[in-house]
Chains A and B, each alone.
Chain A
């Protein structure tokens, strides 16, 4: 599986970089994201505390949208989420955010729906590949 870094992921990274330590980035976050190259075979993708499908506010599954989850990250012990769109054998890294309440999650789900549309139309900015 190819892992594409979109501009949304890059902007999220710049915005959130103070939420996690460099050690967490090197030893946890990045290695976890690299597991996408072995999606869906790696055992971690069966762990619903780490990985799961995106659902909108009405509970409807958002096709091709997934969440990678980390708990108690950084000095603020935040809940970090990375949204990933998987389509055509490619994983597109999209927004990352701190989940501080359910409403934040619902808003991010809504925004992801339109990012999926843009990705499927080829209307996205490519900032590199992981690995």
Chain B
């Protein structure tokens, strides 16, 4: 794979994207995530910025937040429609109850995850990094259908177990 910028080996604080990806692999970050990052990081400057931040960061907690943001951006890119896609408007008055529904749904799913070995096992089986899964379960934003399918496959759950009306 070709990368956009020529690598200067003297610039120790500004490594080539490929070197950062190798470091991520050496730290045990899921292969599927790294492959996806490799595919898109040439084209999207924000991904490259986040990768550089990950490289410069020494705090493990901050590094995990960066990984979760990288996954979020990859999800945005991969799931983006080909042209503007109009989806129904949601009424302001309904948003609180939607938030509660999402919260309850994710809590139930999390219980199933814990029964089947927890987040670490789920990360291994889905290829989604652990910090992203932790954010998925702690956030009240609508789950992506693609993420739910990966989780269902990893946990061997039927469609009915992940059928949820507030997905995106």
Contacts and interface: CB of A to CB of B under 8 A. Distances in A.
Nearest to A8: B76
A12 to B, nearest CB: 8
Contact of B86 (A10, A57, A114, A126): A126
A124 interface: yes
A45 interface: no
Interface residues of B, number: 36
A110 B80 contact: no
Q: A-side binding surface: helix, strand, loop or mixed?
A: helix
A112 B150 CA distance: 26
Interface of B: 44-47, 49-50, 53, 62, 65-66, 69, 72-73, 76-77, 80-90, 95-96, 98-99, 102, 139-142, 168
Given A56-B49, A111-B46, 16 more contacts: A5-B89, A8-B76, A11-B141, A14-B102, A14-B142, A15-B139, A104-B65, A110-B49, A111-B73, A113-B45, A117-B44, A125-B84, A125-B85, A125-B168, A127-B87, A127-B90
